[in-house]
Amino acid sequence: MRVLVTNDDGIKAPGLRALAGAAREEGFEVVVAAPAEEASGVSAAMSAYLEQGQVPITRVDLAGLGGIPAYGVGASPAYIVVLATLDAFGPAPDLVLSGINRGANAGRAILHSGTVGAAFTAAAYGMPALAASLDVLSPLSAERGGNALKVLDESSDEAHNWPTAAQYVRDLLPRLSELEDGYVLNLNVPDRPPGEVKGMERATLARFGQVQMAVAESGEDFVRTSVEENRARADEGTDIALLTDGYATLTTVRAVAEV
């Protein structure tokens, strides 16, 4: 089967390489196409950065993944998925893997995620899809320091536990064929070595995300926002509560559908 690997952190993100490597190791034919620059928080936006009416596409060599065609694209993740269905990167894919995102995509805040937005778009086009994220910003459990937050430091991206998340993806790949039409799998994995993750649990979506927007400063003609920890306690069994306790979480989510 042919797999499109994309993300919203951009073509240079280490999580993207880990995800593509995991798919190749499981025997899939892999093509990588991801935003040329970071596109976090764009949901399923259909946006592109045109140059004389053309969407720029640049061939990229991914370290350690020789032989896998990879492209940096001047477009949002969802737009890239649609381009892939139109054979823009070779034959259309059979399924889509999105991630591995820098930071959990948990709670109802997944609505805003470019990582999950790409997966939803794939489902809308009839393809099984999985969104995978590494929880580099999770509140630590009580035994590890209460509500303290890990520092999100992009300069140390390579040091995060991408192989841990990649292994969970590998374990889930055979199950993608079992997905009902219009559904996606949303996987979140703690940023820990494999032996320190307590296992994987099915989870419901928390009513909120890990962080929330706040107004840091405002004036007559401007507003400056910041992102703060959401200190509301997550209900038991939700993705955020389980991540805080050291579990990987899996939630099956339905893309947009009528009631």
On whether residue 225 sits in a domain, the answer given is no
- More confident of the two residues 156 and 102: 102
H-type helices in the chain, by residue range?
Answer: 14-25, 77-85, 114-124, 162-172, 239-244
For the chain, the average pLDDT equals 89
Q: What is the DSSP letter of 241?
A: H
On whether residue 219 sits in a domain, the answer given is no
On whether residue 216 sits in a domain, the answer given is no
On whether residue 63 sits in a domain, the answer given is yes
pLDDT in tens, 135-187: 987 544 434 344 444 445 555 788 899 999 999 999 999 999 899 999 999 99
Nearest to 203 by CA among 168, 146, 231, 243: 243
On whether residue 41 sits in a domain, the answer given is yes
On whether residue 28 sits in a domain, the answer given is yes
On whether residue 222 sits in a domain, the answer given is no
CATH code at 29? 3.40.1210.10
pTM for the model: 0.89
Proportion of the chain above pLDDT 90, given as a percent: 69
Helical packing angle, 162-172 and 14-25, nearest 10° = 40
- What is the enclosing helix (H) or strand (E) of 228? strand 222-229
- More confident of the two residues 151 and 193: 193
State the pLDDT confidence band at 89, using cuts at 50, 70 and 90: very high
Residue 225 phi, psi dihedral angles, 5° rounding: -105, 160
Look up the domain containing 56 and give its range: 2-208+234-254
Interior CA angle at 111 toward 201 and 115, to 5°? 75
On whether residue 86 sits in a domain, the answer given is yes
pLDDT of 210 above 80? no
Q: How many domains are there within the chain? A: 1
Is residue 11 reached through a cis peptide bond, with omega within 30 degrees of 0 on the bond before it?
no
pLDDT in tens, 214-252: 788 888 888 888 776 665 667 889 999 999 999 999 999
